[in-house]
Amino acid sequence: MLSMASSRGTPQERRKRYLRLAAEAEIAGARLNDPKAKAAWIDLAVSWMLMASEISPKERMAASVSPAGTRNLRPC
User: What is the reported pLDDT for 8?
Assistant: 79
Domain segments of the chain as ranges: 11-75
Question: Is the entire prediction scored with pTM above 0.75?
Answer: no
Q: How far apart are CA 33 and CA 59, in angstroms?
A: 40
Under a CB-based contact definition with an 8 Å cutoff, are residues 14 and 7 in contact?
yes
Q: For residue range 49-75, what is the model confidence (pLDDT) as tens digits?
A: 999 999 876 644 443 344 554 444 444
